[in-house]
Every structure is written in structure tokens, then in C-alpha cells.
A and B are shown apart, each in its own frame.
Chain A
Amino acid sequence: MSLVVVAGQTYDETLKMADFVTHFGHTTVCAHDGAEVIAKVHSVLPDVVLIDAATPIINGFQICREIRSNPVFKKIVIILVSDSGKKATKFYGLHQGADYTITKPLDENMLSKMLKKAAK
């Protein structure tokens, strides 16, 4: 059971992702853009951040860099949802500080596995 900050590309997507996460039994905090994600991270100090690479205002890669630059958030696990299935994007995401990457459409099993791993 972990606290997850969720942010998608759009409002609908964010809700959908939040549904998944709550379905697996985690507590969810929704954010609708990158700036909000950073604010939420600062306020709630989550265990996991599940964000889209293309979040509005501040994109996912920037969020990754922001979180990783602060040693306080060292233990936060970042799961980056990339729009395209391109390897380059995934590699870039991991290089920017994400712990896991996952492609859209979201695979339930894979996401649950990742969240389980993150909870450990």
C-alpha cells in the first residue's frame, strides 16, 4: 500500500490511470499538469510517481530531473508512461531519472508488478 501521485497527458487519462492504481489498492493523488505534480510531490511526499512523459506545462522528463535533483525525494519511485513505444524515449526517460517506463495503452499486469516492486 503506497501513496501514488498520478498525472496523465489529459484530464481523462489521469482519471483512467488513477482508477487503475486505486484498483490495485493504492492511495492516489491526482495532478493535472507537471507543475501540479511537483507541487504534490513536495506536499504529500509520495512513494510512487506515475506520470506521462507528455504532461502539460512541465513534461515528464523535466519532472524526473526535478525530483532526482532533490535528495529528499531520493526514495520516490518514478514510473514514466511514454506515448510512443519507441525505445529511444524509454531510454531517455530512464536516463533522466525514471525507474520504470511503460507504454500506452497501459497493461494492467505490468503496472501492478511495477507498483508492487515500488512498494518494496
Chain B
Amino acid sequence: MLEKMKQIFKFSSWGLLYKFTVPIILIVLVGALSIFVVMSNMTTSSLEIQVRKSLVQEATLLSDSVGQMLKDRVSAVETSIVTNLEVVSSAIQASSWSQQKKYSEYKNSLDIVNYARFAENDIFYGARRYLESLSEKFGFLEIRLNGTDGIAFMATRKLVNAGSLYDSWFVKVSEAFAKGEKYYLEPPVYNDKLDAFVFGIAAPILNQKTNAPVAFLLVSCMSDTVFESAFRLSGTDFLEGSNKSYGWIGKNDIILSSSQRHTVGDNIGPNPSFSKRHAQYLSASFDTKGNLVDSKWGIVERLQPSDLPALIKKYDQTQIKYIDAEKDSPQKLEFYNQLQNHAFGFSSDKQKAFSFCATGLNQNLNSLGHIFVSMNVSEYSKPVVILQTVMVPSIIGIVLVVMLAIFLIIRYVSRPIFLLAGSIYEVSLGNYDIKVPVLTDDEIGEVASSFNTMIDDIRVELKYWKRRDNL
């Protein structure tokens, strides 16, 4: 058996093999290699695209939601303030003009009635008490009743003076009420003095007979309550069962959060494996000056508190125009593009995790804060692993099979050629009585049969000449 194998190996047409097999194998190898390179590149790039896409979707969703949340929150606060202001102004009017005689008309506002009842001799007393309660209830920065005659009552939750805020308002408010508007709303603006976003609402208190405003109720509210809502949103609603982390940096109060929730109801905590890389900057809380306030899960190694201002500046520079009303506006598209460009902006380990930031803007396109999303990419590296573990061996296997096939084909081809060549040699030694076996029905077989015909003719010729010689 071994001997036979040796013979087969020995008497294969290596010349043919060199001529055909080597180039074919080279072509197969080069092809396989190029396919491998192209596929791995494709896989890698598609991996990147996938991750970026997914992150962009995530951040878009998040910033959409946060934006919506902020909006809802603001409008909710506004609505409640307006409602209450209307009640307050009505109550004040009631107590001042009908002096306790028409309480029954204000059954829906019993609080006001109660407060007003105490204010038999001081029509503003009840109102002031109510202002305080409102301030407490909604966390107002400041609430005050500004009489046109200069009398003002003020309830302040924080010892902060909004200062010029009211002065600048006053003209606008007067103009608005002169036009007969029900209330005036000041859009949120960034106040340097307070280092916060502040918005305000004003409602008039009207003279019942003349319908002219006798006083304004002015309320200002800092946006930190809104930020808190947004943070809560980013910290809870989007984390169930995902392997992503979210963080929120408020413009005013910097809050960084790392979060990984496996099941509903768990305490917010980082994924142990994930936090090793990302808790550094997603798990600590900082105050306005960048001091570390709280680091529950946090290891603040990579990102020092001193890095934060630069960080925020960086993301302010790449500020993304987020306009809720125009879903497919150019600004929105640009927003997505910029998100994609910054997909790696915050990544500490490009191979393992991606993270980036989206900026939430208010209606004046000022940034309210930044949302960070980071993501473990291990699930996206599966194609590469498959490529490495499956593709390479299979390519090697294919090359081997091709080589074997070519070898066998050439052996099959070379056998009749060898026999033919041997026969011709035998004829050259003087034996004209042979017949080459016609093994195949192809060109080689044709050559063999032609050779047989030729030998037959020579044999006849020789016989003729021999007979002639004998004669």
C-alpha cells in the first residue's frame, strides 16, 4: 500500500503540477487572503458603524426624552404657577373688594380663603402667607407681589437676590398687561449672577371695577428642579437591562452618574466590569466648582475634578443644535452628524467601550447640560471573533482541498500520457508489435489511437520491404 502510494506520488506529472498547480494555488491563496482582508475590514467597519449607530440612537432617544422631559416639566411648573397665580390674584381681589362677603364664590381655593380670612385688616397678609407656601411647594427661587403703588411682598426660599431680573421684567410685564394678556411668561435664560437658568412668570391683580392692574405677582424659578428631573430620568428610565451607562452634566450643578440597572427596582449601581473603565467619570458627583461631592461607586482616576471645566468647554464648543419642533431639520441632521463624529470623543478604551455626549438645549438653544452615554462593545466584537476562529481555518482547509483536487486531476491526466510516451520509446527500441492502450476518449486518446494506426502502417511497410529483400 505504502509502496503504491509512493509510486503514485513519484509518477505524477510534477512538471504539469508546477505549470498549473502552483499558479492556481497561488491564485487561490491570494484570493482567499484578499477575501479575508476585505471581510475583516468590512466586519470591523460595520462594527464601528453599528456601534456608532446604536450609540447615536441611544443618545438621540435620551436627549429627545430629556428635552421633552424638560419641556414638560417647565410647562407643568408654568401651568401650576399660572393656575395658582390666578387663584391668588382672584383671592386678593376678593378679599380687598368684597371683604369676606363672597368667600362662597371661591370654594375651589380654600387655602386662599383661609389665608384671606386671617387678613381681615390686612388684605395682603393672606396673600403673603400663600406666597410663602407656594415658594415652599414648588421650590421657587423668589415670589413676590408687586403693587403698582410700590408696595411689595416677597417670599424667598433661597437667600438669593435675582437683582436686575425683575427690573428688566417690569417693563415687559407692564407692556404685556397693557395689551390685556392674562399672564406673562419669561423664557428660561442663563443668569450670570445666579449661575443658573431662571425663568419667571407674572400675573396681574386687577381692579374689579376698572379692570386695571393694581399689582403684579412675579415668580422666578431656578431650573435646578428641572435638571434634577432630567437626571432622574437619565438615571432610571433608560437603564433597565442594558449594558450602557448614562451620565448627566448640568451646566450649573455638575452631576455625573454612572448607572447600570439589571432589574427593575435595583438601586442604581455600576456594572462591576463596566465600572472598571467608566466609573471614573460616570460615577461621581461634583459641585459647581468641580469639587468631588459624592463618589458612591466612583473611582475618580481618569477624570479629575479639575478636568471638568475643560470637558464642559469642549462639549460646549461642539454644541449640538437640538430643536424639538423640527424633527428633520438641517440642524437636527447636523446634530446627528456631530454625534457620530464624537462617538469616540469620550472613549477611554476604544476597543472595549464607546461613549459620547449629547447636549440638551433649551428653546433659546442654550445648553442645559450634557448627556453621556457609554456602551460596552463586547457584543459587537462577535463578528470579528467568528472571523478569526472560523474563517482562517476554513480558508486553509479550502486551499488544502483545492491542492488535493488539482493533484488528483493531474495524476489522472498524466497516466495516459506516460503510457503513450513509454510505448513510443519501446517502438524506438525496434518493437513494432505493440499497441498503445486507448484509455480515454479525449485528445490524448486520439493521439494514442493515431499512434496505433501509424505503427500498424509501419508494420505493413516493414513486412513488404522484408519480403522484397527476400526475393
Contact = CB atoms under 8 A, between A and B. Distances in A.
A91 B9 CA distance: 11
Interface string B403-442: 0000000000001011101110110011100000000000
Given A62-B431, A88-B418, A94 B7 contact: yes
Nearest to A96: B422
Contact of A95 (B10, B13, B419): B419
Interface string A2-28: 000000000000000000000000000
A93 B429 contact: no
B11 A87 contact: yes
Nearest to A54: B429
Contacts of B431: 58-59, 61-62
Contact of A88 (B10, B417, B429, B430): B417
Contacts, number: 49
A84 B429 CA distance: 13
Nearest to B431: A59
Interface residues of B, number: 16
A90 interface: yes
Contacts of A92: 418-419, 421-423, 425-426
Contact of B421 (A58, A59, A88, A96): A88
Nearest to B421: A88
A89 B423 CA distance: 8
A59 B422 contact: no
Interface of B: 7, 10-11, 13, 415, 417-419, 421-423, 425-426, 429-431
28 contacts: A53-B425, A58-B431, A59-B430, A59-B431, A61-B426, A61-B429, A61-B431, A62-B426, A62-B431, A86-B425, A87-B418, A88-B417, A88-B422, A88-B425, A89-B421, A90-B11, A91-B11, A91-B415, A91-B422, A92-B419, A92-B421, A92-B422, A92-B423, A93-B422, A94-B11, A95-B418, A95-B422, A96-B422
Given A90-B11, A93-B422, 10 more contacts: A59-B426, A59-B431, A62-B431, A86-B425, A87-B13, A89-B425, A91-B418, A92-B426, A94-B7, A95-B419
